[in-house]
Chains A and B, each alone.
Chain A
Amino acid sequence: MPVVGSGLPLRVQNHSAGGGPNVRYHHIWMPDVSTGLFLSNEKFMTECGRNASNYAGWLKMVNGIDMSLARGTILPWNGRLMYIVGSCRPLVPDYQADLLLYRNNSLVETFTSFFSSVAGGYTYWSTGAGAGVTYSAGDRFAAYVQHVPPPQNSVDYPLIRAFFVREYA
């Protein structure tokens, strides 16, 4: 049901889309004024990385589980990837690498030079990436680092955190 408080329209409702009939919990949904979508107020995060220098390849989840194709965690609701933030610990001054995002074994988006010394910072943040990527309950995401020569070096010790929200549809 829509709720209006201080001019802010909210929707408080449980969510059947993508979840079947057994959804119990009520959630607050906030309108995205740019898209008209109702997105959940709660975000949730998953992180992965690689404890290696000059690395290109799949990132790893908790306990070192490789996120190669057909791996990665399952997301339990329909929703959207809001953004990915990434950091690294560069050992050399010149590094550049793309971040490739896979959903259910298929490449869905390439974030060009996600890790890059060209950005001028010790740590590169990408706060807008991934805003358009949608997912359905049961989907799995995986992330891959792709070396972009030149310069000669790929990224050292990459660590990314992806923030998701649910979508009322």
Chain B
Amino acid sequence: MAIRANGVQFRQESPAPNIRGNDEVFYYLYDPNVDKWLSVQMETITLGRNASAYSGFLRSVNGILTTASFGPDIPHDGTLVALTASATNTPNNIGIRVYNNGNNIFQTNWASQDFSISTDVDFSVGNLSVDIRADIVPPTKPNYPIVQLYAKWRL
């Protein structure tokens, strides 16, 4: 059910896919900028690598190595709305590739550690992983990279 108040539309719905029946309900807000219903709630996924001059897939808690088809499991469909990448060396080149269930859904090359708050990348229920590359010129690989993904659930 959509509720309109002063031109703002809300919906109170179970997420998609609905794995908990009516036990789980989120508030969604229609965002005309991206033409999507996105949850008010936001999730953060953090991956990193405790190594200098690193290229490759990042690791999860306790050093679990992710791959294109293995990473933190995501219970619902959603949209990446922001991401950050940090490293300890300056300058550094950080090429970021995000995978969802084995598919490359996003990539960017940053000349240095940076952040984006205009990301608009959909993902499906399953898993997410991040591959760090330093294949742009000059290829200065990042030291001790950390990537944080910010996700909202999508109807």
Asked if chains A and B come from one complex, the reply is yes
Residues on A lying within 8 angstroms of B by beta carbon are: 1-5, 12, 14, 19, 22-28, 41-47, 60-66, 70-77, 137-138, 140
Could you count the A-B residue pairs with CB atoms below 8 Å apart for me: how many are there? 120
Interchain CB contact under 8 A, A46 and B117: no
Asked if A71 meets B86 with Cβ closer than 8 Å, knowing A24-B34, A25-B81, the reply is yes
Bound-state Cα–Cα, A148 to B32, Å: 53
Distance of A89 Cα from B46 Cα, bound (Å): 24
B70: Cβ under 8 A from any A Cβ: no
A39 to chain B, nearest CB (A): 13
What are the 6 A-B residue pairs with the smallest beta carbon separation, nearest first? A22-B118, A42-B42, A76-B115, A63-B59, A74-B84, A24-B33
Please report whether the interface of chain B is mostly helix, strand, loop or mixed according to DSSP. strand
Residues of B contacting A45 in the complex (Cβ-Cβ under 8 angstroms): 44
Q: A46-B44, A76-B150 are in contact. Are A71 and B144 (CB under 8 A)?
A: yes
Q: Which of A3, A12, A23, A70: most chain B Cβ within 10 A? A: A12
Specify which chain B residues have a CB less than 8 angstroms from the CB of A76 in the assembled complex.
Answer: 82-84, 115-117, 150
Q: Tell me the complex Cα distance, A11–B100, Å.
A: 33
Smallest distance from the beta carbon of B16 to chain A beta carbons, Å?
19
Nearest-Cβ distance from residue A139 to partner chain B, whole angstroms = 10
Q: Is the CB of A62 within 8 A of B8?
A: no
Closest to A11 in B: B8
Beyond A46-B46, A63-B48, A63-B50, whether A138 also contacts B115 by CB under 8 A is yes
Question: Known pairs A4-B5, A62-B46, A74-B114. 14 more at Cβ < 8 A?
Answer: A1-B6, A3-B8, A25-B81, A26-B31, A28-B40, A42-B40, A44-B43, A63-B49, A63-B62, A64-B50, A64-B63, A66-B50, A74-B113, A76-B150
Is B115 in contact with A24, judged by CB distance below 8 angstroms?
no
**Distance (whole angstroms) from the CB of B38 to the closest CB of chain A:** 7
Q: In the complex, what's the smallest C-beta–C-beta distance from B138 to chain A, in angstroms? A: 21
Q: Residue on A with the closest CB to B82?
A: A76
Contact partner of B29 (CB less than 8 A), chosen from A12, A64, A70, is: A12
With an 8 A cutoff between CB atoms, is B21 at the interface? no
Known interface pairs A63-B59, A65-B144; A73-B8 also in contact (CB < 8 Å): no
Which residue of A is nearest B6, CB measured?
A: A3
**Which of chain A's residues have a CB closer than 8 A to the CB of B8?**
1, 3, 12, 26
If A23-B117, A46-B148 touch, does A71 touch B46 (CB 8 Å cutoff)? no
Smallest beta-carbon distance A46→chain B, Å:
7
Which residues of chain B are within 8 angstroms of A61 by Cβ–Cβ distance?
Answer: 46, 48, 146
Which residue of A is nearest B115, CB measured? A76
Contact A66 B86 (CB under 8 A): no
Are B38 and A65 closer than 8 Å at their CB atoms? no
Interface residues of B in 1-52 (CB under 8 A from A): 5-8, 29-34, 38, 40-44, 46-50
CA A18 to CA B136, docked complex, whole Å: 28
Alpha-carbon distance between A66 and B49 when the two chains are bound, in angstroms: 11
User: Using Cβ atoms and an 8 Å threshold, which residues of chain B touch A63?
Assistant: 47-50, 58-63
